[in-house]
Structures are given as C-alpha cells and as structure tokens.
C-alpha cells in the first residue's frame, strides 16, 4: 500500500485529505503541521509520496523540500491556491512533481498522486541517465589525459598508450578510469 506523508497547517483540511487518501487506497504515514523537520521525518517514516496542502508554499517549505529532494527524493504534490508563476517555478525547482491550483478535491487525489509518481519516476530515470553520461564523459577525459601523459613520458603514439593502459587495467582488474587516475596522480609526483 502506498504511504503518504501529509503536510497541512490546518487539522481540519488534513482530516479531509486523509479521508480522500483512504478512499484512494493509500495509507497516511503521518500528518505534519509544517515542513520544518522534513528531512528527518522522511528518513524516519520513509513515505512513498509527500502531499502538501497550503494556501501558498512558503520559502521555508520550499527550502526544506529542496534539501530533502537532494538526499531522499520523493514524489511531492502541492495543492494550493497560489497560481503565481514564480511560486510554481520555485516549487518545481524544489522538486515538486505536481502543483495543483484550486485546492484539493478528494476525488482527484488518486489521479493526481499517480501522475506525480509517474512524472517523478521519469525525471529520476533521466537524472540517472544524465549522471551515467556525465560519468562516462568524465572517465573519457581522464583516459585521454592519461594517454597524453604516457605519450609524453614514454614516447608512445596514442594507440600504444591506450593499449598500455588497457593492459594495465586488465592485469589489475580495474577500470580504465581508475588506471588513468593512477597515471595522472603518479605524473604529478614525478614532475
């Protein structure tokens, strides 16, 4: 069962939200009045989704969401009355997956949460892909730099330097990037 952390300064509205979540088949992990200790609460409760109902997301709430999103990303849904362009942009930058204006209708809870989860999963997949590509590019730059060091130090051509690094990587059971780092580090010591 999907676990939802509810944040709402109004106990009455929080009760309505919990009723809507129960109707949608979700479990309420906890109800918080604010997002002050959000990272600690998320770490403790491990909710699948965070749902915030507020008139307008405060700067503190958005900052706490951004910190939490960096270390423990989760789908976040904000129901609000604030339709300001700046508020929406700030919320998205803080990691909000769905920003719904005109408040919370219990019948809309399930589709909104599911869309937020799907968008969050797509965004996370893109981030992982970007991280992989960035790492490969960084590793490639290291290998090229290390090849340059070997070419200069040992008078090798590019192909011979690459094959020497590859052979060393295979002998050590290391990646090419790891061997490249070692070569670059050693060159700093020797020069």
pLDDT surpasses 90 at 108: no
* 175 in any annotated domain: yes
Per cent of the chain over pLDDT 90 is 75
- Average pLDDT of the residues in 98-115: 85
What's the pLDDT at 191?
A: 66
- Three-state secondary-structure class, residue 24: coil
The model's confidence at residue 178, banded by pLDDT at 50, 70 and 90, is very high
Q: What is the mean pLDDT of the chain?
A: 92
Question: Do 54 and 143 sit in the same domain of this protein?
Answer: no
* 116 in any annotated domain: no
Per cent of the chain over pLDDT 70 is 99
What's the pLDDT at 104?
A: 75
Question: Do 95 and 143 sit in the same domain of this protein?
Answer: no
Question: Do 75 and 142 sit in the same domain of this protein?
Answer: no
**Residue whose C-alpha is closest to residue 5's, from 71, 70, 72:** 72
Question: Do 18 and 65 sit in the same domain of this protein?
Answer: yes
109 vs 22: CA distance, rounded Å: 10
Q: pTM of the full predicted structure?
A: 0.75
* 111 in any annotated domain: no
- Average pLDDT of the residues in 36-47: 93
* Structural domain count, the chain: 2
- CA 96, 100, 106, 111 dihedral sign is negative
* 14 in any annotated domain: yes
Give me the domain span that covers residue 17.
3-104
- Three-state secondary-structure class, residue 30: strand
């Amino acid at each position: 069962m999907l676990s939802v952390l509810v944040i709402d300064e109004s106990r009455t509205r929080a009760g309505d939200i919990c009723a809507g979540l129960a109707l949608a088949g979700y479990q309420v992990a906890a109800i918080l009045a604010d997002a002050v200790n959000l990272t600690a609460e998320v770490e403790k409760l491990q909710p699948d989704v965070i749902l915030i109902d507020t008139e307008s997301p405060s700067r503190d709430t958005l900052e706490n969401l951004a910190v939490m999103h960096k270390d423990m990303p989760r789908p976040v849904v904000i129901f609000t009355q604030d339709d300001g362009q700046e508020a929406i942009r700030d919320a998205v930058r803080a990691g909000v997956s769905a920003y719904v204006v005109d408040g919370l209708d219990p019948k809309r809870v399930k589709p909104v949460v599911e869309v937020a989860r799907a968008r969050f999963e797509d965004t996370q997949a893109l981030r992982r892909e970007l991280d992989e590509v960035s790492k490969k590019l960084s590793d490639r730059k290291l290998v090229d730099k290390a090849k340059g060091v070997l070419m200069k130090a040992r008078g090798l051509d590019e192909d011979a330097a690459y094959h020497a690094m590859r052979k060393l990587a295979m002998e050590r059971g290391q990646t090419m990037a790891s061997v490249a780092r070692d070569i670059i580090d050693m060159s700093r010591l020797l020069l």
